[in-house]
Amino acid sequence: IIKKLMGNLKQVLKSIDAFPRTEDHLLRKTKSGALVSIVGLVVIATLFVHELTYYLTTYTVHQMSVDLKRGETLPIHINMTFPSLPCDVLSVDAIDMSGKHEVDLDTNIWKLRLNKDGHIIGTEYLSDLVEKEHTDHGHDHDKEHHEESEHKTNFFSLDSKAEEMVKKVKHALDTGEGCRVFGVLEVQRVAGNFHISVHGLNIIVAQKIFDGSAHVNVSHVIHDLGFGPKYPGIHNPLDDTVRILHETSGTFKYYIKIVPTEYKYISKEVLPTNQFSVTEYFSPMDKDSRSWPAVFFLYDLSPITVTIREERRSFRHFITRLCAVLGGTFALTGMLDKWMHRLIGAMTKPRTGSSVR
């Protein structure tokens, strides 16, 4: 009885075999089948490499939450070129909502002197170039630099050092000298602005050099501007921005909305940085205006922080896609082989019957 049951069990197992075997002598190999097999193998290998690459690469997941950071600084990475202004007249000023005003920031900022062809002819640290005494003349773009009476009293009271600087800057302007400003500003993590202009100059010296604010050309190229280190896939909208003025002058204002961002690598390493969006506005300079042209960057911080997390696809997902790709390719090549075999058979089959004369 046991043998009979085992025999019946074997018969049942054989009946559900989805892959029945055919005797080798009943199989016939063809050239068309070989061609289809080669094509199928190439397709399978290509799709396998594609799926493996897709599995090994990471993807990102974005999450938002309330920004809870306090008491930190905000790094500002600057890399700009002013083709029409020498380095001796450029300064970087910053002010934030806390009331902290830093003029000619003594941070990691450098200037590269450029000739008219854009080649570097000198390198200087910013704090070594522009006079540091700004207590007698504020440079807020919405205020006057001096009272009219003070301007009339001191206009001709330049010392020999100031006269020498005027001659030096005028010579640089005549030779087409420009300046590249780059480095990192560390500011308070609150809303504020920073601007690059000729505000570091004494008003009398500036008048002697430019003969009025309408002759100050703040044309600029923003090579790179960011608020923190870069992470994979980040796009800073002001990178490679070119703003050139011809026979006019004015003030550029960039209104920036900063979004705090954390990038979490697959290795669990966290990179704190910031993204931002920007809108811009240009204000032409009137001939009678007593304000001075500048390039302003006015920034504010979003209360929402974005967390970007790298993730890797599961191995089960990879196996599922791989089985679907390989099985589908195998089934398709089998159908293609049958069609080719029938087509070739129909074309080579001898015609029956003959004509009788």
In this structure, what CATH number is given to the domain that contains residue 80? 2.60.470
Q: Answer whether residue 20 is part of any domain.
A: no
Same domain, 98 and 246: yes
pLDDT of residue 219: 94
Number of structural domains the chain divides into: 2
Dist. CA 217–CA 5, nearest whole Å: 100
Confidence at 100, pLDDT banded by 50, 70, 90? low
Range with top average pLDDT, 92-96, 215-219, 259-263, 309-313: 259-263
Supply the pLDDT for residue 127: 46
pLDDT of residue 25: 54
Residue count (the chain): 357
Is 206 in the same domain as 294? yes
Whether 45 and 179 share a structural domain: no
Same domain, 323 and 246: no
What does the mean pLDDT of the chain come to? Answer: 80
Domain membership of residue 257 (yes or no) is yes
Looking at residue 102, its amino acid is: E
Judged by average pLDDT, the poorest of 64-78, 141-155, 296-310 is 141-155
Alpha-carbon span 254 to 242, nearest angstrom: 13
Show Cβ contacts of residue 132 under 8 Å, excluding neighbours closer than 6 positions.
Answer: 104
Question: Are 328 and 238 part of one and the same domain?
Answer: no
Q: Where are the beta strands (DSSP E) in 189-269?
A: 192-197, 220-226, 241-243, 250-264
Among 113, 123, 117, smallest CA distance to 168 is for 113
Question: Do 266 and 335 have their domain in common?
Answer: no
Strands 304-312 and 250-264: parallel
Residues 278 and 334 reside in one and the same domain: no
Question: Which domain covers residue 172, as residue numbers?
Answer: 63-116+158-311
Considering only residues 82 and 199, tell me which one the structure prediction assigns the higher pLDDT.
82
Position 306 in a domain: yes
Same structural domain, 181 and 297:
yes
Q: Indicate whether 323 belongs to any domain.
A: yes
Residue that wins the pLDDT comparison between 92 and 1: 92
Of the given ranges (41-50, 152-161, 274-283, 291-300), which has the lowest mean pLDDT? 152-161
Task: Indicate whether 143 belongs to any domain.
Answer: no
User: Has residue 98 got a pLDDT over 80?
Assistant: no
Distance CA 269, CA 305 (A): 17
What's the pLDDT at 202?
79
**Does the structure show a pLDDT above 50 at 142?**
no
Q: Same domain, yes or no, for 233 and 87?
A: yes
Mean pLDDT of 33-59: 85
